[in-house]
Structure 1
Amino acid sequence: MEICDVVIIGSGPAGLFTAINCSGDDRKVVILEKNKTAGRKLLLSGAGQCNLTHDGSIKEFLNHYGENGRFLRHVLYNFNNDDLLDFFRKRGLDFISNENGKIFPETLKAFDILNILLKECEKRRVDIRYNKNVKGVIYDKEERKFKIKTVEKVYKSNFLVIATGGKSYGATGSTGDGYRFANSLGHTIEPLAPSLTPLFIKKYPFKELSGISFENVFISLWRNNRKIRETVGDVLLTHRNISGPGILNFSRYVVAGDVIKINFVRTENEEDFRSEFVRKLQSNGKIMIKTFLKEYLLPKRFVEKILKIAGIEEEKCSQLSKEKRNELIKMLVSFPMEVEKLGDYHIAMATRGGVSLKEVNHKTMESKILKRLYFAGEVLDVDGDTGGYNLQAAFSMGYAAGRDIAKNL
């Protein structure tokens, strides 16, 4: 048995940053990592370039975590995106942002982010133990200590931090262990599902249009013939599914059997579009319908596919029957696609659900059920949009947890 002040399970951004912020010369802080290296999922972020955070205001950040954004309000304001960038800049790494506000290290290498975190852990004498697969955790009420069991030994600790991530990208080590540990310590686990994931469509019609994308189109979600949510975002057609930031961000609300409708012509009023569309058809009667649709700046291959689906061949505008015209308008302003399934955890970027936020102090990340137990990162029931929001949340939660532990050590 090994005695510790703090044991942290998981060496992702949340775990590493918790350790950095609670460490000290007279403290024994140990990170237990099941993999042979740290931060494996971090190294995959942003296609290896690490989209660390976003350049928006923190007030605006809160709109990017679904219905649970309120939980993060305190930690995001207490350690915001500027604070995060300053941490790395002080250690020699600068940043760039793209036209969408995503922020990356100027080297475009996720390893440079991880390397700074590991060097800081080393500097602060944080002991990272690799290849340590935690089998279970218990709380000894008599000793008032946590006991963390691995194959080799038992670690006894005053404080325990569960920062194991979710279930997405399981090959990186995120296999849902944290939910089991939390539940064994009395915590409720909200239903889990993949998030930030593509949508697979029944009888998917766009297999041959892989790579075609649409910017800032209207996307609506329908369930039982009723519209329950809508958004605006970018959509990407792949050979297997629909993806792109707009779809990925929307996926947290979707279940199999829902219908996604996409407005490819970005019109806000369907009736106004219909009236204008009919008027233009009538005034361009001699023009081929394929040529007429160029006005809407749609990809050529997409137009050809839409016309085929609508049953329209080589026809002039004046030859278009009312039935075909209505079908074409429907294809353009509310193309319906029934969701067969969501992309599974192996392709999902995040996990929806997790440790119930009702049971965690939103200011400190400490459990409301068990003193000196903390959570940080994706193991909690909060997931963000693409664009650096999840990493920012992980660092902000790690900062809050680490500082509170340091105060109470």
Structure 2
Amino acid sequence: MNVDLIIAGAGPAGLFAAIQAAENNINKNILILEKNHSAGKKLLISGSGQCNLTHAGDISNFFDHYGNNFNFLLGPLYTFDNKMLMQFFKNRGLKFRKARGGKIFPDSNKASDILDVLIKECNKKNIKINYNEEVKKVNYNNNSNKFEITTSNNYYSSKFFLLTTGGKSFPKTGSTGDGFEIAADLGHKIIEPRPALAPVIIKNYKFKMLSGISLRNKEISLFRDNNLLKSWSGDLLLTHRGLSGPGIINYSRYIRSGDIIKVKLLNYNKNELENNLIKKIEREGKLNLLNLLIKYPLAQRLIEKILEIAKIDGSINAAHLNKKERKEIIEHFSSLEFKVKELAGFHQSMVTKGGIDLKEINPQNMESRIINNFFAAGEVLDIDGDTGGYNLQAAFSTAYLAGIEISERLKR
């Protein structure tokens, strides 16, 4: 069967690109192939089912939230920004609310409302979606200048092919990395896919019983081979296996097995903390050590655990603390150390780091630099953003560029 445009993947990028491509091309045959029995399975679980669509900040501030590949998104985000994305849905009856930190959610708190709008628009534009049809192989025929697509059920040919199959995160939603294999077969380099926006599992973790304790706005440092790689501040959460929270998952793209994470628990450098602790002991040395230390803004259970790890008796009079023990406490409070065992797997990571090498994609229209009329958008590209709506915005913005470029070519 010959069609005008085939899109692999009925997630937000695929649906939105199809809508743009169909603009003023109502008589063109646009087909989306989806391996699942329904569209947008990952979209429906985004933001815990509420769909954090985008962020309320100025678009110029978005680029700090995409790691080292932010330059690629300059064109897509400025061409189709967060205000334009929200307006698209507002024009179709949705209202939005701004949550803590600037996150934008549909007023209904239902991700299904976002998906419903996309599906309705596809129906209006006669875009066909074939469900339970997984793309198995894609070849480019140089003689016919068409893509030959083999699926689990059928064979298709098309002049235009758009890949929007997502990454490998949350594989139960169908994101199993199929698109990486398709792109590689078409000659593209694939940057190794890795979990991103993922919790970190810690080796010989000693804080399992403290799961649920959060640490607000702490200075966090990442070391590899005794060299400081990066420092930042953020909120983190102790879990039953390691560390989570935005201060960890937003930077998990940089973290590797064997790295050392150090957390500064208090807003003192070591000398300041030592002087402060000595003064406390001079004033209140009759208190037992634990009662003295809980005057610092830290959870008592955390302080108790640190004393246990340091093998220091918290019931002694603070005045009896010797110099070695004092140094031990200062070291833990100033630089609590965790050795990374690994990142949590794709089943827990929100997005995928890695994917189609961005050097091989034109950022102005999402077309391959290797094969004409082959486009890619969304998470199948080597793009990963922070939490807060940045990943969905990137998916919609890249899809928009691909869609409008294909729309123009379909008219020719």
What TM-score do you get using the length of structure 1 for normalisation? 0.97
> Alignment partner of 2:92: what SS?
coil
Q: Counterpart in 2 of 1:229?
A: 230
Q: Counterpart in 2 of 1:291?
A: 291
> Alignment partner of 2:101: what SS?
coil
> Alignment partner of 1:295: what SS?
coil
Q: CA deviation digits over 1:71-125, x for unaligned, max 9?
A: 1011001111111111111111111112211111111111111111111111111
Letter in 2 for 1:349: M
How far apart are the structure 2 equivalents of 1:83 and 1:394? Answer: 14
> Alignment partner of 2:84: what SS?
helix
> Alignment partner of 2:294: what SS?
helix
Q: Counterpart in 1 of 2:189?
A: 188
- Aligned residue pairs, count: 407
How far apart are the structure 1 equivalents of 2:182 and 2:391? Answer: 22
How far apart are the structure 2 equivalents of 1:98 and 1:289? Answer: 41
Q: CA deviation digits over 1:167-193, x for unaligned, max 9?
A: 111111111010111011110001221
Q: Counterpart in 1 of 2:12?
A: 13
Task: Give the CA deviation at 1:259.
Answer: 0.6
Task: Give the CA deviation at 1:235.
Answer: 0.5
Task: Give the CA deviation at 1:270.
Answer: 3.7
Q: CA deviation digits over 1:295-317, x for unaligned, max 9?
A: 32211211211221122221232
How far apart are the structure 1 equivalents of 2:6 and 2:146? Answer: 11
Q: Does structure 1 residue 307 correspond to structure 2 residue 307?
A: yes
Letter in 2 for 1:323: K
Letter in 2 for 1:358: K
Q: Is the contact made by 2:236 and 2:243 (CA closer than 8 Å) also made in structure 1?
A: yes
Q: Counterpart in 1 of 2:256?
A: 255
Instruction: Supply the RMSD in Å over aligned alpha carbons.
Output: 1.2
Q: Counterpart in 1 of 2:21?
A: 22
How far apart are the structure 2 equivalents of 1:274 and 1:163? Answer: 55
Task: Give the CA deviation at 1:153.
Answer: 1.5
How far apart are the structure 2 equivalents of 1:270 and 1:390? Answer: 38
Structure 1 residue ranges without an equivalent (≥5): none
How far apart are the structure 2 equivalents of 1:391 and 1:292? Answer: 47
Among all aligned residue pairs of Structure 1 and Structure 2, give the percentage whose two residues are the same amino acid. 48
> Alignment partner of 2:100: what SS?
coil
Letter in 2 for 1:201: I
How far apart are the structure 2 equivalents of 1:361 and 1:381? Answer: 13
Task: Give the CA deviation at 1:144.
Answer: 0.2
> Alignment partner of 2:73: what SS?
helix
Letter in 2 for 1:151: S
Task: Give the CA deviation at 1:155.
Answer: 1.1
Alignment of 1:70-219 (within 5 A): 70-219=71-220
Q: Is the contact made by 1:282 and 1:317 (CA closer than 8 Å) also made in structure 2?
A: no
Change (3 A) 1:260 1:37: same
Q: Counterpart in 2 of 1:35?
A: 36
Q: CA deviation digits over 1:205-251, x for unaligned, max 9?
A: 11001111111111111111111111111111111221111111111
How far apart are the structure 1 equivalents of 2:309 and 2:137? Answer: 55
> Alignment partner of 2:159: what SS?
strand
Q: CA deviation digits over 1:359-401, x for unaligned, max 9?
A: 0001111101111100101111110011111001000011111
Q: Counterpart in 2 of 1:3?
A: 2
Q: Is the contact made by 1:216 and 1:266 (CA closer than 8 Å) also made in structure 2?
A: no
How far apart are the structure 2 equivalents of 1:281 and 1:354? Answer: 55
How far apart are the structure 2 equivalents of 1:57 and 1:282? Answer: 51
Letter in 1 for 2:3: C
How far apart are the structure 2 equivalents of 1:157 and 1:91? Answer: 31
Moved more, 298-307 or 201-210: 298-307
Task: Give the CA deviation at 1:277.
Answer: 3.2
How far apart are the structure 2 equivalents of 1:61 and 1:278? Answer: 45
> Alignment partner of 1:354: what SS?
strand
Q: Is the contact made by 1:138 and 1:185 (CA closer than 8 Å) also made in structure 2?
A: yes
Q: Is the contact made by 1:53 and 1:103 (CA closer than 8 Å) also made in structure 2?
A: yes
How far apart are the structure 2 equivalents of 1:381 and 1:215? Answer: 31
> Alignment partner of 1:191: what SS?
strand
Q: Is the contact made by 2:270 and 2:331 (CA closer than 8 Å) also made in structure 1?
A: no
Task: Give the CA deviation at 1:58.
Answer: 1.1
How far apart are the structure 1 equivalents of 2:288 and 2:379? Answer: 53
Change (3 A) 1:54 1:266: farther
Q: Is the contact made by 1:8 and 1:163 (CA closer than 8 Å) also made in structure 2?
A: yes
Letter in 1 for 2:306: I
> Alignment partner of 2:378: what SS?
coil
What TM-score do you get using the length of structure 2 for normalisation? 0.96
Letter in 2 for 1:365: M
How far apart are the structure 2 equivalents of 1:293 and 1:95? Answer: 45
Letter in 2 for 1:375: A
Change (3 A) 1:270 1:96: farther
Q: Counterpart in 2 of 1:341?
A: 342
Letter in 2 for 1:301: R
Q: Counterpart in 1 of 2:400?
A: 399
Q: Does structure 1 residue 389 correspond to structure 2 residue 390?
A: yes
How far apart are the structure 1 equivalents of 2:2 and 2:220? Answer: 54
